[in-house]
Amino acid sequence: MSKSYRVAILGATGAVGTELLELLASRNFPIADLKLLASERSAGKTLNFKGENLVIESVSDRSFENVDIVLASAGGGTSKTWASVAVEKGAVVIDNSSAFRMNPDVPLIVPEVNPEAAATHKGIIANPNCTTILMTLAVWPLHQVKPVKRIIAATYQSASGAGAKAMEEVKIQTAAILQGQQPVAEVLPYPLAFNLFPHNSPLTDVGYCEEELKMVNETRKIFGDQDIRITATCVRVPVLRAHSEAINLEFETPFNPDEARAILSNAPGVKLVEDWQRNYFPMPIDASGKDEVLVGRIRQDISHACGLELWLCGDQIRKGAALNAVQIAELLVEKNLLK
Amino acid sequence: MSKSYRVAILGATGAVGTELLELLASRNFPIADLKLLASERSAGKTLNFKGENLVIESVSDRSFENVDIVLASAGGGTSKTWASVAVEKGAVVIDNSSAFRMNPDVPLIVPEVNPEAAATHKGIIANPNCTTILMTLAVWPLHQVKPVKRIIAATYQSASGAGAKAMEEVKIQTAAILQGQQPVAEVLPYPLAFNLFPHNSPLTDVGYCEEELKMVNETRKIFGDQDIRITATCVRVPVLRAHSEAINLEFETPFNPDEARAILSNAPGVKLVEDWQRNYFPMPIDASGKDEVLVGRIRQDISHACGLELWLCGDQIRKGAALNAVQIAELLVEKNLLK
């Protein structure tokens, strides 16, 4: 009989939390015991897991006793408060927040890209930011063949990146506008319905918002290459669930688009989607609910001899968050890296 | 008494046509006679101009007799059919379609950028594509100070670029989705509500769609500089009326963002919109109905020592089409360039 594990989900009621629950079930993760943790507000509510109603517990010091794996998805503050407690009690924490991502003692992992980093963990493993995960899946297989020197990204990020409440807000705003009323913005800073705006994460003193610097810094850490030059413009768009990215890549020498196509058609976690006859390429509605990041529209950059361009869409909640975390848990099991 | 002119609008009932009518009135263009031309389908209908109901006429050979200026906005096919007829009868045609833009005998004009090109006209002047007009307004003032070497653009284009019917379709699709129904796409190839997709103009054999190559080729022609290297990824987003663009610029030497800011704060047709404290930058809802292109989020590109990035939004129907055409007409009057 193969081993099974005691798992806790911290932040079980959020958009990512409920997806984690669904994925642990559908992927048949070997679970001996599943604990759902959330804030006091949600305690006592139940969520269904494989036909069983599990009662959500309010998180406390004792929550992490007899737990092997914590899947944390309740924001940076909550992770900072509880991750060390969980590690002390013997659990390995897979953290979906940005709290530990750039900590040199914490591996930052996309299982298709740098699974080997898991072996160095000291109790916490960080799940990268959604836009980073999606981009690395498409760029890493090319980088293996010919090192990428520079990345210029522009994103088209859905409301789901700001959580379930933001998705609901966009729907309410949209209905209001269709009825001739003014949209009200409470979750996001500006109305997103029939509108868009540069990503609302805090701005830093280099003129980039935190979301953009995550793409820069996390990609370098995951690739183990501090020399890649990266810039990103991150934009929120009135899409509900999947993120899109326009990616411009520069190499030392030309990268044949057909070669790139062949590489990406066999890349793990990637699905090549391009029908040049029909002008059909990845779209958020096709990426929603899918495990793979959809990549296409691969072409020679006409402005740079060593440039290559591509377009991708990926489910931000799934591979951009929950699925990647569950894959990290599966990796820990497979490589016997749990305590 | 100053001179006034006999004007015809070809394609008076479209999204751009109705905007042309509004602008000729609000800008008090010196009109002696105004003729509204459209297809047979719209003939007999009326449109209001300065309190008067004008009857739309079906376009024919005789429509262009005794006309000084034709503002054409009825698609490339209609322009190809009628422009030479109008020129033969003595009119100057300002054409909003792509039919003549790259014709070496036809000046392609953004009045704030290359007004001097108007003097070379032989009867037809082309109005550039919307995305090109918006980009050139922001980039030209910088290019004057330090020549730009490369432009990497990603666009976020509203439904209005595909006409009034596309705007209506997005609203209907959105209402359907909010009611749990499937969206139906008839005007655009795929549902745009809560979705987005690479621009649906025909793909060319270099892997770029026509919309993208317009940004490349038209910008070079307007700037009179065939050496600028340009790439663009054009994307349709579920916004109703204004286009946005993420622009990455490369120069020979570094371009100080504060210098760029000072230049753009005094540039014609440009309004600098950036509040770094509030994380407030140009948004489509703020650009809609405005004459200026809103430009902001100007910053040093952290991936390139000589790189500069900016973000812009502009009303695609207004400055991206109708306003630019009316400004060209005003330029012809001012410079006495009518026949």
**What DSSP element (H or E) covers A307?**
strand A307-315
Q: Is A157 annotated as a binding residue?
A: yes
Torsion of CA B13, B15, B18, B22, to 10 degrees: 180
Q: What is the CATH number of domain A5-128+321-334?
A: 3.40.50.720
3-state SS, residue A231: strand
B209 is known as an active-site residue: no
3-state SS, residue A245: strand
**Cα(A22)–Cα(A68) distance, integer angstroms:** 19
> Is the pLDDT score of A339 beyond 80?
no
Contacts of B189 in chain A (CB under 8 A): 279
A130 is known as an active-site residue: yes
Q: Which of A150, A280, A285 has the CB atom closest to B303's CB atom?
A: A150
**What DSSP element (H or E) covers B214?**
helix B210-223
pLDDT at residue B99, rounded to an integer: 96
pLDDT digits (tens, 9 = 90+) for B264-284: 999 999 999 999 999 999 999
Residue A62 has what DSSP assignment? G
A132–chain B nearest CA distance, Å: 16
ipTM of the complex: 0.96
Nearest to A8 by CA among A28, A33, A25, A26: A33
**Cα(A276)–Cα(A280) distance, integer angstroms:** 6
Contacts of B311 in chain A (CB under 8 A): 198, 233
Percentage of chain A with pLDDT > 70? 100
Contacts of A244 in chain B (CB under 8 A): 196, 235
Torsion of CA B52, B56, B62, B65, to 10 degrees: 30
Return the amino acid letter for A144: Q
A138–chain B nearest CA distance, Å: 17
**Cα(B137)–Cα(B109) distance, integer angstroms:** 11
> Is the pLDDT score of A330 beyond 60?
yes
pLDDT at residue A65, rounded to an integer: 95
Please give the average pLDDT of every successive group of 10 residues along chain B, which has 339 residues: 90 93 97 95 94 96 96 93 96 97 98 98 98 98 98 97 92 97 97 98 97 98 98 98 97 98 98 97 97 98 98 96 97 94
B193–chain A nearest CA distance, Å: 8
pLDDT at residue B176, rounded to an integer: 98
Domain ranges of chain A: 5-128+321-334, 132-316
CB contact under 8 A, A303 and B178: no
Q: Is B237 annotated as a binding residue?
A: no
Q: Is A229 annotated as a binding residue?
A: no
> Chain-wide mean pLDDT for chain A?
96
pLDDT at residue B2, rounded to an integer: 76
Tell me what the mean pLDDT of segment A111-135 comes to. 98
Q: Do A5-128+321-334 and A132-316 agree at the fold level? A: no
A248 to chain B: nearest residue by CA? B152
A212 to chain B: nearest residue by CA? B302
Q: Specify burial of residue B180 (Cβ count, 10 A radius: 0-12, 13-18, 19+).
A: exposed
Pick the catalytic residue: B130, B143, B199, B313?
A: B130
3-state SS, residue B65: coil
CB contact under 8 A, B301 and A239: no
pLDDT digits (tens, 9 = 90+) for A289-323: 999 999 999 999 999 999 999 999 999 999 999 99
CB contact under 8 A, B279 and A239: no
Contacts of A154 in chain B (CB under 8 A): 154, 233, 246
B285 to chain A: nearest residue by CA? A195
> A132-316: which CATH topology?
Dihydrodipicolinate Reductase; domain 2 (3.30.360)
Torsion of CA A296, A299, A304, A307, to 10 degrees: 50
- Spell out the CATH class of B5-127+321-334: alpha beta
Tell me what the mean pLDDT of segment A230-256 comes to. 97
Q: Is A97 annotated as a binding residue?
A: no
A172 to chain B: nearest residue by CA? B178
Beta-bridged to residue A47, according to DSSP, are A54
Contacts of B209 in chain A (CB under 8 A): 279
3-state SS, residue B145: helix
Q: Is B16 annotated as a binding residue?
A: yes
